[in-house]
A and B are shown apart, each in its own frame.
Chain A
Amino acid sequence: MKKVAVIFGGQSTEHDISIITALSAIIRPLRLRKQYEVIPVYISKTGTWYSEPELTDVLTFQTSRIDEILQKAKPIWLEMGNGLTLVKGGLKTTKTRIDIVFPAMHGTNGEDGALMGLLQMSGVTYVGCDLRSSVIAMDKALSKVVVQTAGIDVAKSIHISKREYQKKPNYFIDLAKALSLPLFVKPTHLGSSIGISRNSSYDELTNALEVALHYDDAALIEEAIPNLIELTVPVMGNDMPRAGLVEKPRTDPDEFFDFSTKYMNQGGKKIGTQKTSQGSQGYSELPANITKELYARAEKTALAVYTALGCMGTARVDLLVDSKTDTVYFNEINPLPGSLYAHNWRQAGVAPVQLVEELIELAIERHAAHQELDHSFSSNFLRQF
């Protein structure tokens, strides 16, 4: 039976979301399939790595039991080289060689390519976007540049580094006045809509930038798209990606699809007098109730973005639509969708067990292709030196 390590948690603002993704969307269906030995690998908020059987129960994380377990548990470390082995000390050191890694770490160090780099260097098969596509995808500014070169529309924006802003804040506020209101301010490298704000006047930008730059070392000031429809599309695949269903989050025109709407308990935006429910799964139209032409264009744009950024495994593409002109703009891409966006795939006809199995098969396929590449190059360079 292949050993699959599911890595989750981490020192990230999305630590808690990662726990849910790991436990409900990955570990549970994988275990039910009985084809894999599933090994939880949890990275605590202090950055210590653990692997204990109790770390697969969500109740553990909802109570103080997690602290009790971590107090008694032995940390693990990684042995790398022609694969990945988990090593746990104690009276007797135990080593567990891993066949496949399933990353479930959102945000910093997880989704941004850091973990992927580690896994790539170790030579282990791993699921999801690779180092290159993760780095680009998690950088809102960089990803906009890349998709723009592929002919996809993006909203006008300016990119600000924290260091530069601290030197000359007014300069960037003045620069932003070239953009039309309202304006969104976003941390460049974070997901789950953390630190994002919508600003109706230029005076609000200073505060907004302080918030964004509290969480990140760079930020984006971006024009809002008028007559807005927000759409989101999960995509899965390597060389031949396919889209799930085009989904339309239910938001008031003046509000946006923020962290609270996405994740919080009974969260949901009011639509008139009607309140949606079920937090992340109750907020949207699935499939989106839009024209057939717009639906097709959104799907096509999502696939084009996925391919342009070199994504593999799965990702979720967020789009903005000006409903008057029907122009589809790329907003951002999430290389590790929360809960793998399993609710969308299920509606598209892919059961949760199928989803994780397919992602593993895609990972194996990519790994095999990568192995075929020659990574060495003979030369006389050293002799010349």
Chain B
Amino acid sequence: MRRFLGYWSWRYPTYITYMLQASEYKPAAYIAWWLRTSDFRYVMKRRILDSTTKATLIRIALRLLYMVGIFAICYSLYVSISSRNLAWLLLGLLLFVVWPLVTAFSVLGLVWLGEVLIQRPKERAIQSRAAARSATLSARKIAIAGSYGKTSMKEMLQTILSVKLNVRATPGNKNTLAGNSFFIQNLLGDEDVLVFEFGESYVGDIAALCQLVQPQIGIITGITEAHLDTFDSQENLVGTIYELSDYLGEAHVYKNADSDYIREHIVGHDRLAYSHTGVNGWTVTDIHTSLQGVSFIAHRDGRSLPLVSGLIGAHHVGPLITCVDIAHRLGLNDEEIATGVARTKPFEHRMQTYILHGATIIDDTYNGNPVGIRSGLSVLRTVEARRRIYVTPGLVGLGEKSDTIHEAIGREIARSADVVVLMKNSTTDALRRGVERGGFKGRLILVGEPLEFYQNIDQFVAAGDVVLMQNDWTDNYT
């Protein structure tokens, strides 16, 4: 009944436009979400519809289709009453039942037509112009790929290099072909350094981005189980990310040796393989972490450079030392490098801390991969706290490996927290199993309404608590 009320709500076209947009216009994800939704009136829980041109056109088309349906139903009922014809009544009832489905699925055809006739040609044109423009740019171009840590690396680089150089980076998480093309088109041409974030969803994505941007330096920030629903296998994912190495050659690509999948691919001594111990002639010692940040000493050529960053967690040392090396290569002196590192601070929703009624909240809700989860948990284990509270819905996009990975994460959570808060969804059982098998003796809370929990988190915390919140599921995964 609730589902039916949702169908015939005036906002139904808005709801399904939102569902399409949140699914990134991928038919399989959209259809799966539509089928499991029991009440359409509540799909827009975490976000609202972004009124882009595409979304607006779709919504208008759906509204028109919706109104056609209403008209057809009213007309059928009118004819059945006036002519006392049962067939028209049955037609009206049939339309009443099936029209919402027609609306929901015909939109896929609309989207496909729009993509084929308008969007793809437009994108190809933009990309072609962008590639041509990119070839003329004199700036050093740095491309960052990986299944995690890209945005953090990008923002670190931009912060540090900006002490001396004119640096621009792709905004937010606009890491697709379209996003990078748009970025290139809007450059002024006077930049010293350009930092590009390369996102991967399908095999060939990184290769295409390399052709577009034509970078000179590459960074692979790490590979873990992610997007396995689109890549089908871990090998495909690894191969796609390594398309950056295929383009640039191993000698020009920094790689995170702290990442298991990358370490397996390192042959011999790779001077650009970075880790918490150093990179390219730099060695790192004296790492200290706290909720205020991380500090360490970088050594090279007989000199020592003490560095302090506002980023939290020892897992930032590897990326930071990489940025130090790149800054050094691009002409920054030690003082400028130290100043730049000191300016790095937690980025929005990435180990970002704030105080709430005397409790420290670590907002790591943009962290959505197993490696990041473990890094966060290691921070939680080491901080002084009255209670260590861990909050997560689990991870998405792990395909068949989801249960195994979540059980392992659960065991790690068990030794890191006093209170565990799990947002109920498809990963909860596996996480819970892992927590219980990990010998957890604290308090486990299952939350059915994540948004309500986050909005009222002040009711769950007290002075001295440290709360780590990791990952956040968007509506299309609930």
Contacts and interface: CB of A to CB of B under 8 A. Distances in A.
Contact of B459 (A28, A347, A348, A349): A28
A22 to B, nearest CB: 15
B460 A349 contact: no
A146 interface: no
Interface string B114-129: 0000000000000000
A352 B459 contact: yes
B249 interface: no
B462 A29 contact: no
Contacts of A28: 456, 459
A32 B460 contact: yes
Given A346-B358, A347-B358, A32 B453 contact: yes
Contacts, number: 40
Contacts of A32: 452-453, 456, 459-460
A349 B453 contact: no
B454 to A, nearest CB: 11
B32 interface: no
A1 B461 CA distance: 24
Contacts of A351: 459-462, 465
Nearest to A35: B445
Contacts of A348: 462-463
B26 to A, nearest CB: 34
Contacts of B448: 34
A349 B465 CA distance: 8
A352 B463 CA distance: 11
Q: How large is the interface on B (under 10, 10 to 19, 20 to 34, 35 or more residues)?
A: 10 to 19
Contact of B460 (A345, A347, A353): A353
Q: How many A residues touch the partner, as a band?
A: 10 to 19
Interface in B185-207: none
Contact of A346 (B447, B452, B456, B462): B462
B441 interface: no
Nearest to A343: B357
A290 to B, nearest CB: 19
Q: Is the interface of A mostly helix, strand, loop or mixed?
A: helix
Contacts of B465: 349, 351
A116 B24 CA distance: 59
Nearest to A346: B462
B158 to A, nearest CB: 38
Interface in A37-63: none
A175 to B, nearest CB: 47
A277 to B, nearest CB: 16
Given A34-B448, A346-B357, A347-B358, A29 B463 contact: no
Contacts of A34: 447-448
Contacts of B459: 28-29, 32, 351-353
Nearest to A30: B459
A29 B458 CA distance: 10
A347 B456 CA distance: 17
A242 to B, nearest CB: 14
B460 A346 contact: no
B464 interface: yes
A350 B386 CA distance: 10
Interface string B346-357: 000000000001
A122 interface: no
A120 B119 CA distance: 73
A171 to B, nearest CB: 52
B464 A349 contact: yes
A348 B358 CA distance: 10
Contacts of B453: 32
A346 B386 CA distance: 12
Contacts of B462: 345-351, 354
Which has the most chain A C-beta neighbours within 10 Å: B358, B452, B462?
B462
Contact of A349 (B386, B447, B456, B458): B386
Interface string A295-309: 000000000000000
Interface of A: 28-29, 32, 34, 345-354
26 contacts: A28-B456, A29-B459, A32-B459, A32-B460, A34-B447, A346-B358, A346-B461, A346-B462, A346-B463, A347-B358, A347-B462, A348-B462, A348-B463, A349-B386, A349-B387, A349-B464, A349-B465, A351-B459, A351-B460, A351-B461, A351-B462, A351-B465, A352-B458, A353-B459, A353-B460, A354-B462
Given A348-B463, A349-B386, 8 more contacts: A28-B456, A28-B459, A345-B462, A347-B462, A349-B387, A349-B465, A353-B459, A353-B460
